[in-house]
Amino acid sequence: MAIQASPKTGFEKWQDGINKAVGNAKWNVWDCEIQSSVSVYNRYLSGTAGYQLLDWQFIKAIIWVETGANSPQWTSRPMQIGNTHDPGLGSLLSGKEGGDLILPPIWKGQLTVSSVRSSATYNIRAGIGYLLMKMANFSYRSVSGSDTKVYQVTVKQGDSFDKIAKAQGSTVEIMKKLNPGVKVLRPGQDLNYQKASVRRVITSWQNISTTLIAQYYNGSHDMLYAKKLDYALILIRKGAAALCAK
């Protein structure tokens, strides 16, 4: 009696489809755009709080898992950012979650809801930006302005560090740093200050992994997302990338 093979799981069927990508030029069509976009981000963020250069093949793996060359959205929205009810694009462009510190200035006017939803190039750039935004750790810190001159102000009755800082366009942290011996304010004292403000800054980065991509980019909606990324990465690293102009 012949033993019937067990029906394939959804993941095994997905593997069968993705295996056909190797050697198929259609699946490499975005390689040059991915490499170019990742290069721009890497140059812009390099040296920022210990930033580690992003491997462009992570992005290619995301695209293979999110859409793939057989998807109707492959040519317009390969990273799927900007889909209806997906908050990712709004989070990136709002400036309220740190996206303004991630996006290279040359793209800030180009990446809009409309362009990201209709152009594969902008979709890829926005998708990478959103991923990097989720990988960054932010905090609010006192940051000196472009005017590095040290000024002086005389303490008046009723003054406090906070009151003076607000009036002079500085911060309490900067003022205390420039006046290390001053603990109690007295009228007539001269205090040093610099122009400064409290701003959001990048303080550190998480090391990008398929597990974190699944958590932050996919939102853990697909429990097999990290497993799919791992499988796609193996195929991508074995295959040949498209030849891109330098």
Residue 33 burial class via C-beta count within 10 angstroms: exposed 0-12, middle 13-18, buried 19 and up: buried
Residue 184 DSSP label: S
pLDDT of amino acid 5 = 64
Give residue 241's identity as a one-letter amino acid code: A
Q: pLDDT, tens digit, for every residue of 9-23?
A: 889 999 999 999 988
pLDDT of amino acid 65 = 97
**Cα gap 206→219, rounded to integer Å:** 16
Which residues of the chain have a pLDDT value below 50?
Answer: none
| E strand intervals along 167-227 | 190-193, 196-205
Q: CA torsion sign, 70 to 38 to 232 to 244? A: positive
CA atoms within 13 A on the CB side of 243: 0
pLDDT of amino acid 2 = 58
- Reply yes or no on domain 146-194 having CATH 3.40.50.1100: no
Q: Are strands 136-144 and 196-205 parallel, antiparallel or unpaired?
A: antiparallel
Q: CA torsion sign, 33 to 71 to 215 to 58? A: negative
CA max distance for the chain? 102
What are the residue boundaries of the structural domains of the chain, listed by start? 24-138+203-238, 146-194
Q: Which of 113, 117, 39 is nearest to 76 (CA)?
A: 117
pLDDT of amino acid 1 = 52
**Cα gap 207→204, rounded to integer Å:** 10
pLDDT of amino acid 242 = 75
pLDDT of amino acid 8 = 84
Host H or E run for residue 131: helix 120-135
Tokens of 210: 């398929």
Q: What are phi and psi of 111, to 5 degrees?
A: -85, 100
pLDDT of amino acid 193 = 96
CA angle (51 as vertex; 48, 52 as ends), nearest 5: 155
pLDDT of amino acid 241 = 76
Beta-carbon count within 10 A of 211 CB: 13
